[in-house]
Chains A and B, each alone.
Chain A
Amino acid sequence: MAETREYKGIALIRAEPPCGMITLRGGPDAAKGLATAGKRLGVKMPGPLGAELKDDRGLLWMSPDEVLMLCPAEDVPDHLDALRGALKGHHAMAVDTSDMRVRFSVSGAHAREVLAKLCPLDLAPDRFGPGHVRRTRLGQVAAAIWMRGDGAFEVICFRSVGQYVLDLLQVAAAPGSEVHLFSQPVG
């Protein structure tokens, strides 16, 4: 990543430090094993398009047979051991993908607007809020977006396009670029 770790325009864009990420895949027959992930983090298993988060850990629904587990990096080996044990004998997998993606946060009054400029999602407050996750397209690349309890958005994308996404977010948050899609102009 470039030296810019934080950028303040109409929203605050921040390159977040690395965290542990574990990709879990498996069909309905592996549901019980996959549920181990929720038990270990103390969160529920997310339903379709759901994000179950608690502080710096949580589970993101990625597709009918895929869940992404977020946790502190140092917890990854223990989680992997436990999950692989629980999934034994099933056509399922638990893989450390911590290095695969990078994570950004977008916060502030115009955070919604910044993201709405870049992806084809309905980001109206009554359509997308905490507890939701969407995989979508951000500019020209794939990304996933969810909202933290504090109202900030988190964005992940593949590491290889991390600089592109950071640049994209910064341009979309350039000072004076408000379009007031979700807010009233002041004055």
Chain B
Amino acid sequence: MLTFRCPVCGVDAEETELSPGGEAHLKRYGPGSSDEDFSGYLFQRENPRGVHFERWRHAYGCGKWFHAARCTQTLEVFGTYPAQTTEPPQEILDTITKKRPGWTWRELGAK
């Protein structure tokens, strides 16, 4: 079972109190973009076995969106962070590198 600490209200919210919002940090390609970029935005997803970044909403609680970094294989949660950002905070990246040396996710990864 997944438990995320909602960074908005501070509650340790259990999975059934939350709604999944899919992959995090998608870059939107709108009108005027190439077909390839637009289809990538719509359909291309990571689906990793391991480190993953996602959007979640504290649907039954404060109702706010937030980001979470977790391992899809073990359900270990590396951390949660606010929705108002386009990339994970350094602190979370460092935590992941410590626990999963050599990890990669899109252009991110252990340096």
User: Which chain A residues have a beta carbon within 8 Å of chain B's beta carbons?
Assistant: 48-49, 62-64, 66, 120, 122, 134-137, 142
Extra pairs beyond A48-B10, A63-B62 (13, CB < 8 Å): A49-B9, A63-B9, A63-B64, A64-B9, A64-B62, A120-B13, A120-B16, A122-B12, A134-B11, A134-B61, A135-B63, A136-B61, A137-B60
Q: Are B17 and A120 in contact (CB under 8 A)?
A: yes
B76 within 8 A of A: no
Binary contact track B1-42/A, C-beta < 8 Å → 1, others 0? 000000011111110110000000000000000000000000
Interface of B is mostly: loop
Q: Are B16 and A137 in contact (CB under 8 A)?
A: yes
User: Which chain B residues have a beta carbon within 8 Å of chain A's beta carbons?
Assistant: 8-14, 16-17, 59-64
A-B contact pairs, 12 of them (CB 8 A): A49-B10, A49-B11, A63-B9, A64-B9, A120-B13, A120-B16, A120-B17, A134-B11, A134-B61, A135-B63, A136-B17, A136-B61
List the B residue with the shortest CB-CB distance to A141.
Answer: B60
